[in-house]
Structure 1
Amino acid sequence: MRKLMATGVVPGVRDTGRQVFPLAALQQLQTRPAADLTVLGAPEVAVLRSDAPAKVEEPDREWIGFGAGLDEAQLLASLSGWWRCDPARVAAGGVLPVTVAGFVVAVLTGLTEWEADGTVGTAGRYRFTQARLAGYLSDLTAPVNAADPADPQDARLAGLLLGTRLASVSGGPIAYVTTSPTTDTADQPTATEGE
């Protein structure tokens, strides 16, 4: 909840010595559907697990992370790199959902070109130089794309993903999630059935 509050995507959060998360917003978020990744047409998709915005002093961006108060140019710069990742694997998915606390708050496309930071001997960091901000949210409780993408495919992907739940696990900001539903547990009994 703290990450969601810090990004500004939940309206009505109050900070009066202690932060108060509106009950109505919590109830709305509990009913959010899971992202349907089967429609993406790739075996896996990379997910950028973002944090609240933080100021940085870098030549190509002034922020890192996601924040509803950032404009589109700032968001694109803050989300399109520099990440430790396998850039070809990210590009193969065709889309990079950006999540905060497991909710998709932004969607990047145009991931076909990247550059490395020049780090030698370690897992380098990469930036996607042609990335496009297909969509982002300013209010997670009423998920409407705040961007106006020119590409109809970008608009479609943003419409499918924004505001949905997308669980991912990673030791860093980039996670890789399979797009096909798991079937190996569907036929196994649950604990109550097996007892």
Structure 2
Amino acid sequence: MQAKAIVLDEPMIRRALTRISHEIVERNKGVEECILVGIKTRGLFVAKRLAERIQQIEGTSVAVGELDITLYRDDLTLYSKDKDPLVKGSDIPADITNKKVILVDDVLYTGRTVRAAMDALVDIGRPAQIQLAVLADRGHRELPIRADYVGKNIPTSSDERIVVELAEVDQEDKVSIYEK
């Protein structure tokens, strides 16, 4: 894989997350009934950053949970290759029943990860509503899923890959397109 272009740098990511935070607050008329749930791994860090910005904007904290969808994936056998999957566990700090859950991920691609996450959420409780926030939407949906909040739409070919790097795990913030 070879880097083709950086499509979001650190200031652009910061601005996109600030915009998404404002959109979440506006659409939900505050965040009193909201819980942010990040899909591990990078979705969790995006969710935490959104929570920080919402705190700055509204002066109200919003709960942040983490969701491990490993056992809910429909493509588990493609990745496991006779190995047991590494389950990291979920941690939802509040009851999601009758709450607005904002599911957060770094990249929206086929929609299969989001479908697995929704299945996992419904096993935990019954939210009043599930919304989706993503840092990047690259298209190529295989399921009828769309994001409610998008940092940046990045049209790609099927030969390209979007790589999200976040300081919490990668020591820098950027979103790049790689080609095979």
Instruction: Return the TM-score normalized by structure 1.
Output: 0.23
Instruction: Return the TM-score normalized by structure 2.
Output: 0.24
If each structure's helix is expressed as a fraction of its own residues, which one has the higher value?
2
